[in-house]
Amino acid sequence: MKTTVRHSCLSGSVAALPSKSLTHRALFCAALAEGESEVHSALKCDDTVASVNALSRLGVTARWEDANAFVSRHGELKEPTGMILCGESGTTLRFMTAVCATMPYEAHIAGELSLLRRPIKDLAVALNRLGAECACDEEHAPVRVKGPIRGGSVEMAGNVSSQYISALLLAAPLAKTPVDIRIDGRLESKSYVKMTLEMQSKFGARVSSEDDLTKFRSEPHAYQPADVQIEGDWSSAAFLFAGAAIAGEKIKVDGLNHGTTQADRHILHVLETMNAGMKVEGSSVTVEKSQLTPVKADVSDCPDLFPALCALCAVADGVSTVTGTRRLRLKESDRILAMSNGLKQMRIDTKESESSFTIYGGRPHGATIDPHHDHRIAMAFAMLGLCTEGVTVLDSDCVAKSYPSFWQDLESLGAELTIS
């Protein structure tokens, strides 16, 4: 599928999608609790469906009713037969590896081609230190793991994927003895770890931590079934805010929690810094077209904001610099390369270093963009299509990884687009 987005003026309102990150965590906590849990307003997208499918291989059942997911497990987790496939979801891969390390069975875990380039070695090493047998091919999936983990102490670098920390935290209460986790250096993407701890607490899993999240301790105990509500997703809303600032008369996004631990709420600070017209009221945010000023922004704690931020910087009047970009080469695509190539096709100059990305804002031109099967790259360039003669996004159905209704929502707000 390919979608062409042409010069348009956006207006209207739309409800924020449920948070993908929180839905993942709720599904896994529910699977670890014996009984039935209800996840209200769960996001059903390619990644969360991958989690449900993977968990089903362990005897966990899930059914979707309207916007809710009902997750059930009766008895112990079951021995999986055959390969457990995680689609293209890095979260599913890391979380499943840790969950399987709590069971006395061997599991083989893999996924689609793009997932097989995502690193997992550091998590495998940590699980081995806690008593599991875990191995991967070089640094990537497929993964072979057999538990159960016994417990003990483990140290993780703070500048690798926060999903490793979250995965260990999910498994820790099921160890036979206490688990201590220490973070070496500054923990990046700290808010994602906070989301994990908060979701665990809703399911009765008590994990203590230092205020700076450099030390964690979990005593052995069981998860309990729960009913939880998933809040609106700031990650997907960020693209709508970008579109509004680039080409919006006025767009309102409802259903956002301003007291959230989601890192991508940082988009509000970015928009304010770039002089975007913005109004925050209750659970809604309204953004309108603005003459944007350049920005210096650090995405080390909110890497998923990078593509939307690049779109904003491309139309800003001046030179913007984004730092904290080192880990972005290991997402669904090499996001540094994907954004650099795409922006250059649109006649926007860029410059990159090991940990920063500079964008020379100007007037983007139309282009045909290969998003490299990366949902956030596709959505970012769609936003830039709104201020050009037309941007054609190839493989545009890849947005279903996190935002299945993206093209419909964009069209409902007044975007002129053609899907073929």
> Which of 168, 190, 218 is a domain's end point?
218
Are residues 32 and 173 located together in one domain of the fold?
A: yes
Are residues 202 and 311 located together in one domain of the fold?
A: no
Residue 224 resides in a domain: no
Catalytic amino acids? 304
CA-derived radius of gyration, the chain: 21
Are residues 266 and 316 located together in one domain of the fold?
A: yes
Q: Tell me if the pTM is above 0.85.
A: yes
Q: Which residues of 148-185 are buried (b: 16+ CB within 10 A; e: fewer)?
A: bbebeebebebbbbbbbbbbbbbbbbbbeeebebebee
Closest CA to 24 of 114, 81, 98: 98
Closest CA to 318 of 290, 346, 339, 292: 292
> Which of 187, 218, 249 is a domain's end point?
218
Contact status, residue 336 vs residue 325, Cβ threshold 8 Å? yes
d(CA 229, CA 309): 28
Are residues 53 and 164 located together in one domain of the fold?
A: yes
Q: What is the pLDDT of residue 332?
A: 67
Total of domains in the chain = 2
CATH code at position 255 = 3.65.10.10
Are residues 284 and 178 located together in one domain of the fold?
A: no
Contact status, residue 187 vs residue 213, Cβ threshold 8 Å? yes
Q: Would you tell me how many other CB atoms lie within 10 Å of the CB of residue 296?
A: 12
Q: Would you tell me how many other CB atoms lie within 10 Å of the CB of residue 68?
A: 16
Tokens describing residue 153: 């102490």
Residue 249 resides in a domain: yes
Are residues 98 and 162 located together in one domain of the fold?
A: yes
Are residues 239 and 361 located together in one domain of the fold?
A: yes
Residue 374 resides in a domain: yes
Residue 340 resides in a domain: yes
Residue 226 resides in a domain: no
Domain that holds residue 123: 20-218
d(CA 216, CA 169): 8
Residue 223 resides in a domain: no
Q: Which residues contact 123 (CB under 8 A, 6 or more apart)?
A: 94, 97, 98, 134, 163, 164, 167, 168
Phi-psi region of 142 (alpha: psi -120 to 50; beta: other; left: phi over 0): beta
Are residues 297 and 208 located together in one domain of the fold?
A: no
> Which of 172, 192, 218 is a domain's end point?
218
Could you report how far apart the first and last alpha carbons of the chain are, in Å? 6
Strand partners, 181: 154, 216
Residue 225 resides in a domain: no
Are residues 112 and 99 located together in one domain of the fold?
A: yes
Tokens describing residue 81: 């037969």
Residue 92 resides in a domain: yes
Tokens describing residue 10: 């956006």
Contact status, residue 297 vs residue 309, Cβ threshold 8 Å? yes
Per-residue pLDDT of the chain (420 residues; tens, 9 = 90+): 999 999 999 999 999 999 999 999 999 999 999 999 999 999 999 999 999 999 999 999 999 998 999 999 999 999 998 999 999 999 999 999 999 999 999 999 999 988 888 889 999 999 999 999 999 988 889 999 999 999 999 999 988 889 999 999 999 999 999 999 999 988 888 999 999 999 999 999 989 999 889 999 999 999 999 999 999 999 999 999 999 999 988 999 999 999 999 999 999 999 999 999 999 999 999 999 999 999 999 999 999 999 999 999 999 999 999 999 987 876 667 899 999 999 999 999 999 998 899 999 999 999 999 999 999 999 999 999 999 999 999 999 999 999 999 999 999 999 999 999
Are residues 270 and 203 located together in one domain of the fold?
A: no
Are residues 120 and 60 located together in one domain of the fold?
A: yes
Are residues 193 and 326 located together in one domain of the fold?
A: no
Q: What is the pLDDT of residue 330?
A: 67
| Kind and range of the H or E run holding 26 | helix 20-31
